[in-house]
Chain A
Amino acid sequence: MEVGIRGWGAYIPRFRLSALEVAALWGYDGRLPKALGMVEKSVAEEDEDAATMGWYAARVAMRRAGVSGDDIDAVFFGTESKPYAVKPSATIVADALGVKRRKLATDLEFACRAAGEGMRISVGLVKSGLARNTLVIGSDTAQANPGDLLDFTASSGAVAFVVGPASGSAAVIEASVSYVTDTPDFWRRDRSPYPEHAEIFTGEPAYFHHIVSAAKLLMEETGLRVEDFDYAVFHQPNGRFPLQVARMLGIPQEKVLPGLVTPHVGNTYNASALLGLAKLLEEARPRSRVLLVTFGSGAGSDAFSIVVQDSAPELAKMGPRVADMMNSRVRVSYSEYSKFRGLLLKNVGG
């Protein structure tokens, strides 16, 4: 059975922190935001977390897919900022969405690509007949050590997809492949509040190697060439890397820019590349073929070939669009950001 995306939804909090303010506060050169391709990043409120944002995106995805909780056989929640270190978020979101009890449900963690894995697992489940429809959520309130380079990019957002039979879907998942190695480019140890990263090492041997390798594998296995893709969406840790990796693959910038959300949203980690895909489902002409390549530190990439179907433009009208959520924005100060994201050390209780 062919597998497709039957519905999608996204969530971007409306508050934004300016990259120029981050640079000024921590003594960085004022030209750094531009070099990173960053204007601002989204900031979740204090009562939001990966579960609440994922819930919103999933509700919209289910509405677009025209499914109820009884139609969902599996829930995969990809995040690296789980509200609980131990206790699944998938169960909270599933109950709040009214998903039936007879289901598979779990959280997946692989830095920024866990939701991409959820998509591939879903393709397998639907193809095999073990599931009719699955719900895949990528949601993060990404943490950054205050003053670290990640402070320019680590942001909050969510995206969700209902994966099911291709017939009547918004987009057909033609092919997919994964490429995974052990590469310590970015990590967070137990009890550490913020992640650490290996600076420049996160680029060449990590981001670029895995994305290029996965994309090439996909093209080898399918016989598709770069010219066969109308759009390309890559994981977006900043505004610059996706354009660089496109150049390495010989993909022109104009095929990448429509799905590039990070300069105005930040790196939403598990939602990053998939938020770009959601935007394309709302904007691309039917029959467009999209190359989607995720990346998660540690490290791995999933490459997908996705063909937008005739129903996508109609389904896009049934929920808030990514572009609208990008435009609906209110600037907050670093103080408000610190309060919203719980960065201030307080006595608790009372």
Chain B
Amino acid sequence: MRLSPQQFWRIRENQYRLFITVCGSCGRKAILKRPVCPYCGSDRVHHVESSGLGVLESFTKVYYRRNSSEDDLPKFIGVVRLTEGVRVVGEIVGVGADELREGMEVEAVLRRYASDDPYGVIYYGIKFKPV
């Protein structure tokens, strides 16, 4: 999949920063800045930025290479439970296979997701690394 600069520009706020949508109707929280609550459909929502800190709950090693992704295979994809209580799926970086373990404390970092090689736009986003 090749992103376009226009598509990326529209979603960059949710790519660059970890927002949480808090619902004023049902009280539940969801990852990403969203206009409506994904659980009850209410638009009585407000947004907070996550501290970026969390715990790695589960992970897997991935060999599949997306078109235009950086050459960083194999990579680790994990489920992180943020301190705000919300789960998010993301890439785990800065760690070897023998060091990864469930329950490990991680923090959000800005990294390259992909780039339109060799002269296209570079797409940045949030990944996680051990604290």
CB of A348 within 8 A of CB of B70, answer no
The reply on A83 being an interface residue by CB < 8 A is: yes
Question: Closest CB-CB distance, A321 to chain B, in whole Å?
Answer: 13
CB of A98 within 8 A of CB of B70, answer no
CB of A47 within 8 A of CB of B112, answer yes
CB of A95 within 8 A of CB of B122, answer no
CB of A47 within 8 A of CB of B70, answer yes
Residue interface mask A51-92, B partner, CB < 8 A = 1: 110011000000000000000000000000001100000001
- Of chain B, the residue at the smallest CB distance from A85 is B119
A133 to B122 alpha-carbon distance, docked (Å): 29
Q: How large is the interface on B (under 10, 10 to 19, 20 to 34, 35 or more residues)?
A: 20 to 34
Q: How large is the interface on A (under 10, 10 to 19, 20 to 34, 35 or more residues)?
A: 20 to 34
The reply on A346 being an interface residue by CB < 8 A is: yes
Question: Closest CB-CB distance, A223 to chain B, in whole Å?
Answer: 44
- Given A45-B94, A47-B127, A52 and B71 touching (CB < 8 A)? no
Contact residue among A47, A51, A92 (Cβ-Cβ distance under 8 Å from B72)? A47
Contact residue among B70, B96, B110, B118 (Cβ-Cβ distance under 8 Å from A330)? B96
Within 8 A of A (CB), among B73-131: 93-94, 96, 109-113, 117-118, 122, 124, 127
Within 8 A of B (CB), among A179-227: none
Provide the residues of chain A in CB contact with B117, threshold 8 Å. Answer: 348-349
Contact residue among B17, B68, B71, B109 (Cβ-Cβ distance under 8 Å from A46)? B71
- Given A45-B93, A46-B70, A95-B16, A52 and B118 touching (CB < 8 A)? no
Contact residue among B12, B13, B93 (Cβ-Cβ distance under 8 Å from A47)? B93
The reply on A350 being an interface residue by CB < 8 A is: yes
CB of A48 within 8 A of CB of B111, answer yes
Provide the residues of chain B in CB contact with A323, threshold 8 Å. Answer: none
